[in-house]
């Protein structure tokens, strides 16, 4: 099985910029970016990242806002915060060298078992297994796993460790990921071209399209949010920086909050701004509506123009507040949904009608 997979990989493996390079830092960056994100999405970010932060020292020396701006739009922003913190630890504690030891590297922020296996096998050709989404699917079909992968992670880890080629772990792990990404796909797997077809229990039972099993899912929670674009007399807009925790920690946003049952959008915005920033505003006309899907929930941002009436903005529920011009707002890292608000603001200032946005695919 190892020989067949490696032979297939030699003929059909993908050419990717983080493969076959002697740069553990660049490989680490790629592994972090590839967490829960497709290769085609990562590629342009990876190239720009290495141009801006070519070494672990340059990343460690950058300020967090610069790092988050470089990550803007890639999603799962904790990865960027973890990369930055880990770079600082690597420079301070490991002489700027990516650790080769499993326990040492998994002690760094954001590096779990499969990311560590990816880094150690790819960067140093060390025999550590991986278990990303593609590998789970391949292995679940290989043994016709009778439960969803999430319920059999220990078994799948043992299987991944068992099939790993101890002599060529770098190529083997990359081959296993490519097999899942290109042939053993979620829908319509290309079993006729698979090097493991003869060994695949799902194929032999003709149940490959039914596996891996999935957990039943209910409808995504849908949050309705009132959002304020607050203008002052100098035609500046008030933005705030989120606390470091959570999905979008450290990013800037237009302030607002969840609409309570029975509450109008306008009442919600006025209340939230008083609670979060301690100021009085007049809520004006609607600017736009943005519906954005994350992996576990949807959010609709109901955005209104507002006018600052009184009070000095205070960072009561955030890390920082700032008045900025529309021209300067580009300098700040925002979540993807908020970028649509900026586009709508530019259209409004240009005398064009802002466009409402609905993103139906989960954001990555």
Q: How far is CA 158 from CA 98, 153, 359, in A?
A: 26, 9, 39
**Residue 233 and residue 197 share a domain:** no
Q: Averaged over 57-62, what is the pLDDT?
A: 98
Model confidence over 135-188: pLDDT tens digits? 999 999 999 999 999 999 999 999 999 999 999 999 999 999 999 999 999 999
Instruction: Judge whether 31 counts as a catalytic residue.
Output: yes
Q: Dig out the tokens for 29 from the structure.
A: 């960056």
Return contacts of 112-119, CB within 8 angstroms, 24+ apart. 113/157, 115/31, 115/32, 115/35, 117/173, 118/31, 118/34, 118/173, 119/24, 119/27, 119/28, 119/31
Residues in the chain: 364
Report, as an integer, the average pLDDT of 42-68: 98
Last residue of a domain, one of 185, 210, 235: 210
Residues 133 and 18 in one domain: yes
pTM of this prediction? 0.89
Q: What is the DSSP string of 290-311?
A: EEEE-SS-EEEEEEEEEEEEES
Are 199 and 235 in the same domain?
no
* In a shared domain, residues 233 and 113: no
Q: Are residues 188 and 294 in the same domain?
A: no
- In terms of domains, do 186 and 272 share one? no
Marked catalytic residue, from 31, 72, 253, 276? 31
Instruction: Report which of 252, 234, 241 is spatially closest to residue 308, judged by C-alpha positions.
Output: 234
pLDDT on residue 363: 39
Q: Look at residue 233 and tell me whether its pLDDT is greater than 80.
A: yes
- Mean pLDDT within 190-214: 97
- Are 177 and 239 members of one domain? no
* CATH of residue 28: 1.10.340.30
Determine the structural domain holding residue 148 and report its residue range. Answer: 2-210
The answer to whether residue 109 is domain-embedded is yes
User: What confidence score (pLDDT) does residue 362 get?
Assistant: 44
Query: Which pLDDT band holds residue 360 (cuts at 50, 70, 90)?
Result: low
Going by C-beta distance under 8 Å and a sequence separation of 6 or more, which residues neighbour residue 255?
Answer: 227, 228, 230, 238, 239, 240, 272, 273, 276, 277, 318
Query: Does some domain include residue 104?
Result: yes
Tens digits of residue pLDDT in 262-308: 999 999 999 999 999 999 999 999 999 999 988 888 999 999 999 99
Q: Is the pLDDT of residue 364 over 70?
A: no
31 and 149 fall within a common domain? yes
pLDDT at 82 over 70: yes
Residue 55 near residue 25 (C-beta atoms within 8 A)? yes
Contact 253, 334 (CB under 8 A): yes
Question: Which long-range contacts (C-beta less than 8 Å, at least 24 apart) are formed by 168-172?
Answer: 168/2, 168/6, 168/125, 169/121, 169/125, 169/126, 169/127, 169/128, 170/121, 170/122, 170/125, 171/6, 171/9, 172/2, 172/5, 172/6, 172/121
Number of separate domains in the chain? 2
SS3 percent helix, strand, coil of the chain, rounded to 5, is 45, 15, 40
pLDDT of residue 202: 98
The conformation of residue 363, written as its DSSP 8-state character, comes to: P
Residue 75 in this model has a pLDDT that exceeds 70: yes
216 domain-assigned? no
């Amino acid at each position: 099985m190892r020989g067949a997979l490696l032979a297939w990989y030699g003929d059909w493996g993908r050419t990717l910029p983080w493969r076959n390079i002697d740069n553990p830092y660049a490989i680490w960056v790629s592994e972090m970016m590839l967490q829960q994100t497709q290769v085609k999405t990562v590629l342009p970010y990876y190239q720009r990242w290495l141009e801006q932060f070519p070494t672990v020292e340059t990343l460690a020396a950058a300020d967090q806002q610069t790092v988050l701006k470089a990550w803007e739009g890639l999603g799962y922003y904790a990865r960027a915060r973890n990369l930055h913190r880990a770079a600082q630890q690597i420079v301070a504690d490991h002489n700027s060298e990516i650790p080769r030891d499993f326990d040492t590297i998994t002690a760094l922020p954001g590096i779990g078992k499969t990311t560590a296996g990816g880094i150690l096998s790819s960067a140093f050709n060390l025999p550590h297994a991986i278990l990303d989404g593609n590998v789970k699917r391949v292995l679940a079909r290989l043994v016709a796993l009778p439960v969803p992968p999430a319920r059999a992670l220990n078994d799948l880890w043992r299987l991944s460790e068992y099939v790993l080629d101890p002599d060529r772990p770098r190529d083997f792990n990359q081959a296993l990921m490519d097999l899942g990404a290109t042939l053993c796909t979620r829908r319509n797997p290309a079993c006729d071209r698979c090097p493991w077809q003869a060994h695949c229990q799902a194929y032999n039972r003709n149940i490959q399209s039914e596996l891996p099993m999935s957990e039943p899912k209910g409808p995504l929670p849908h949050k309705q949010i009132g959002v304020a674009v607050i203008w002052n007399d100098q035609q500046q807009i008030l933005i705030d920086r989120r606390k470091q925790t959570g999905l979008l920690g450290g990013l800037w946003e237009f302030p607002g909050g969840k609409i309570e049952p029975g509450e109008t959008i306008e009442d919600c915005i006025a209340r939230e701004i008083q609670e979060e920033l301690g100021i009085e505003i007049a809520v004006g006309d609607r600017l736009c509506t943005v519906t954005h899907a994350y992996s576990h929930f949807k959010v609709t941002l109901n955005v209104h123009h507002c006018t600052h009436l009184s009070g000095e903005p205070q960072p009561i529920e955030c890390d920082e507040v700032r008045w900025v011009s529309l021209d300067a707002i580009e300098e700040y890292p925002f979540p993807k949904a908020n970028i649509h608000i900026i586009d709508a603001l530019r259209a409004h200032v240009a005398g064009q009608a802002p466009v409402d946005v609905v993103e139906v695919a989960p954001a990555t």
